[in-house]
A and B are shown apart, each in its own frame.
Chain A
Amino acid sequence: MLTVCPYFHVHQPFRVKNYRVFDIGEDTEYFNDMSGTDVDNRFIVEKVANKSYRPTNKVLKELLDKHPEFRFNLSFSGTVLDQFEMYAPDVLESFQELVATGRVEILADTYHHSLAFFYSVPEFKRQVKQHERKIQKLFGVKPRVFRNTELSYRNDLAKWCEDNGYIGIMSEGWEKYLGWRSPNHLYRPPGCSKIKVLLKNYKLSDDVAFRFGNKEWADFPLSADTYANWINAHHGDGSTVNLFMDYESFGEHQWEDTGIFDFLRHLPEMVLRHPDSGFKTATETVQAYDTAGEYDVPDVLTWADTDRDLTAWTGNDIQQDAIAATYRMERDVMRTKNRHLIETWRKLQTSDHFYYMCTKWSNDGDVHAYFSPYKSPYDAYVNFMNALSDLQLRVKHVVDQKDREAEQADQSDQAARNTMTEEEIETQVARRVQQAMEKLAQTSATKPKKKAADTTNPSTAASDQPQPSFLGNLWSRVKKVFPVTPSK
């Protein structure tokens, strides 16, 4: 038995418009270009919808209707779902129809297509949860297999996923870590006992994603027949062929005139000609097969370039500067508790912004190796940093105000203390502690669902419990203002 596990990644970032130094402090909209060019997000979504999302979903729906054996996986960034809701609701509906067949699995992801895992695990976790809520709301399902931005992967990410209840995770099947072994098996990350890694068969995946329309390629033009034979040739060499690629390969990266839609339309039929071949979703794959050994990835592995690392996002000084400046804001941004500011900050974490600043191949004159809506990596950096500077100002404004309020509160406490007798102080402290306990009891009472979930998953239970920091903070404030021990 050999099964194919296709997975298509759907993503669009919120591109930053031409945002000048003069706009800092004046303009709080960073993503609202309306020029009809490549930084106009609505324009891009509408363009790609016509070229890729609409026609591809039509073909995929036909295939699901025609072949009951056909299955595949999708992953969405939250940023693309937001843009579908705003600019192309019909596209979102067509995806919902696919998922409603029950044969299309959705994978877990970060909401903002970010590299947060490598910069702030707490922020990463918040984005994964936010993504989970969005998927639940739009599709009514809960993802069980994880894939990280740009297929970036490391041993500790697998461990995190296992600790957070995922049964599978996706990664690149790279010789450096595979050695002589086949990517067509499931593997176990070191230090994990349950989670399984699905490895991308990059040769077969890239035949479609990158080489399909290349007239220079020896195998051009590639027919579904030939390709199915290549897949079926793996019988005896593992159990699953994992074809991972950008969804936009269909119609956007490979244009309709390359014949990509005909190819897709005939592929399942050709694969299924072999009596022992089939399709499985990621969860089915994980549940069906055992692991064939350990896949040990101590350094970041991605699906990008020939280097398969993060250098396309964090390779040069401006990228490192921009990404460090972004995550340096975390504490202050979170302190604002302002949903809009936090969301804006997260939109700026999308990895595409840093990708546009890449200068990796530019010294060879191969500036077109990297697609970017900006004229140069430096234009991308300037727009991004100017927008980030504005956000920093807005965050600082809120944080400063909170600091001032806290100081005033301290001062009034201080003033009150000066006029109170010791007895009154003790009464007040006791009352505040009482109030705090009541509030605490209330918050835990209003989260019965969480409680229930906690019992099944001890690791989330620990972090979802009412924060001890709430009491801790209160106590430290109380002790600071009233240096007496309250009697119980």
Chain B
Amino acid sequence: MKVLTFSWEFPPAKNGGLGVACYGLTRELLETGVEVLFVLPKTQETKGNATFLFADTERLQRLGEIGEVFYGPYSQSDTNVYSIIGYDATGKPILRARTILEEAHRFAHQAALIAQMETFDVIHAHDWTSYLAGVAAKIATGKKLVLHVHATSFDQAGGDNVDPSIFNIEHEAFMMADKIVTVSEYTRNIVVNKHGVDQDKVEVVHNGCDSHEPATLPPTLAALKAQGKKIVLYHGRISIQKGVDHFIRAARRVVDVDPSVVFVVSGSGDMLQQIMNQVGEMRLSQHVRFAGALWDEDRDRMYQSADLFVMPSVSEPFGLVPLEALQHGTPSVITKQSGVAEVLTHALKVDFWDVDQMANQILSALRYPAMRGQLVKEGRMQIAGFSWGTAAQKVKRLYQSLLQYATS
């Protein structure tokens, strides 16, 4: 069995959970004997044994990342990306700005060409930026289409105020899909209730989590810890979806009771300035540190040094970060509006709007070390069972169920 897969992200490029999920799922699908032909929108380094195609090589268009340009699936549809469309006489690249939406359409155009040239049995497209590509490949070949929902426009908007162009793509693609996979029951409910998709068409495949025993790193923020300060960490994008504003409000409540707590905000995003202003307004400058976007070892050191991690998301289809924090020995407070809350028992859970309860849980976790210890100990045992292998088995069965009725 061979699957033609479209996605916007893939490791080792540094981006969000989509790339991590695509990698884990692809690796395990290969293990179960499914061939994966993986199509990315632009040429990049890759990881693992799938066969990769890049949708920019078709027209010899090389897309380059320029400086800090954010090129992720979570951008608004009108966020600009830059592509190098050629080189001038002096060898300088000629740049052309496109919106993500235009890129998604270009991707779809290339996808149709690729689909006609390649042989495969089923199409699998990850997230809205690749849905059009998946749909185009289906129209071009008549093969069955699986759409994999890692996030929706509702998550991104943190409510119903969605980006209409993304919603339209989602809506039309969902209608065209033969099966839809969501990463949680939470997301399945959105797809069924908000997009109006027939519930029999939607299946849940929870994300896996690669367990590994991370090395113990030298602590960070040693000076603060030496003063007996307790560290509460947020790590992620700073956008409306992530609920950092609620986190800061909870911080105020916590500090009123226990002034020895320091809150670290790691990440960047379109709400950063607003959050900084909020910290000032709430007179929390002494208690909130902005660490910028941390990656790799810096991020891992922060995970290990923190006493508690908080994922305050307003709407989180899955949410990998609390699992990462657990692997580094740090327990979490997570919101109930997340997919990971469905599978992880060993976390404190709160409604994102319930700032009081969030503060109560933060304070309680810091007060009672026995609870932190158990959240980590039993949480780690639990996530050892969240495997990409299980997820891949489910996806493979899904492919098979589609092929049973396919004419080819």
A residues in contact (CB < 8 Å) with B:
20-22, 316-318, 320-321, 359, 362-363, 365, 367, 375-376, 378-379, 381-382, 385-386, 389
Is B360 within 8 A of A22, CB to CB? yes
Distance A316 CA – B367 CA, assembled complex (angstroms)? 18
Q: Does B349 contact A (CB under 8 A)?
A: yes
A-B contact count (CB 8 A): 70
When distances are taken between beta carbons in the complex, the residues of chain A under 8 Å from B368 are 318, 321, 381-382, 385
Is B257 within 8 A of A22, CB to CB? yes
Q: Does B277 contact A (CB under 8 A)?
A: no
8 nearest A-B pairs in the assembled complex, by CB-CB distance: A321-B370, A20-B360, A21-B363, A317-B374, A362-B345, A382-B364, A363-B382, A318-B374
Distance A320 CA – B374 CA, assembled complex (angstroms)? 11
Given contacts A382-B348, A386-B364, 9 further A-B contacts (CB under 8 A): A22-B356, A362-B382, A363-B378, A363-B382, A378-B347, A379-B348, A382-B368, A385-B371, A389-B367
Distance A381 CA – B371 CA, assembled complex (angstroms)? 8
Is A317 within 8 A of B348, CB to CB? no
Q: Does B218 contact A (CB under 8 A)?
A: no
Of A317, A375, A378, A386, the most chain B CB neighbours within 10 A belong to: A378
When distances are taken between beta carbons in the complex, the residues of chain B under 8 Å from A385 are 364, 367-368, 371
Is B367 within 8 A of A359, CB to CB? no
Q: Does B375 contact A (CB under 8 A)?
A: yes
Distance A386 CA – B377 CA, assembled complex (angstroms)? 22
Majority secondary structure, B binding face: helix
A363, closest chain B residue (CB): B382
A324, closest chain B residue (CB): B370
Distance A389 CA – B367 CA, assembled complex (angstroms)? 10
Distance A20 CA – B367 CA, assembled complex (angstroms)? 12
Partner of A20, one of B345, B356, B370: B356
Least CB distance from A297 to B in Å reads: 29
Q: Does B280 contact A (CB under 8 A)?
A: no
| In the complex with contacts A362-B345, A376-B349, A378-B375, A318-B385 CB distance below 8 A | no
| In the complex with contacts A20-B356, A359-B345, A363-B382, A316-B374 CB distance below 8 A | yes
B345, closest chain A residue (CB): A362
What are 21 inter-chain pairs, A to B, with CB distance below 8 A?
A20-B356, A22-B253, A22-B356, A22-B360, A316-B374, A316-B378, A317-B370, A317-B371, A317-B373, A318-B370, A318-B371, A320-B370, A321-B370, A363-B382, A363-B385, A375-B349, A376-B345, A382-B361, A382-B368, A385-B368, A386-B364
When distances are taken between beta carbons in the complex, the residues of chain B under 8 Å from A375 are 349
Of B357, B371, B373, B375, the most chain A CB neighbours within 10 A belong to: B371
Distance A228 CA – B278 CA, assembled complex (angstroms)? 72
Least CB distance from A163 to B in Å reads: 36
Least CB distance from B369 to A in Å reads: 9
Of A359, A363, A365, A386, the most chain B CB neighbours within 10 A belong to: A363
Q: Does B346 contact A (CB under 8 A)?
A: yes
A386, closest chain B residue (CB): B364
When distances are taken between beta carbons in the complex, the residues of chain A under 8 Å from B363 are 21
Is A363 within 8 A of B373, CB to CB? no
Q: Does B381 contact A (CB under 8 A)?
A: yes
Least CB distance from B230 to A in Å reads: 13
Least CB distance from B322 to A in Å reads: 14
B349, closest chain A residue (CB): A376
Is A21 within 8 A of B345, CB to CB? no
Is A21 within 8 A of B257, CB to CB? yes
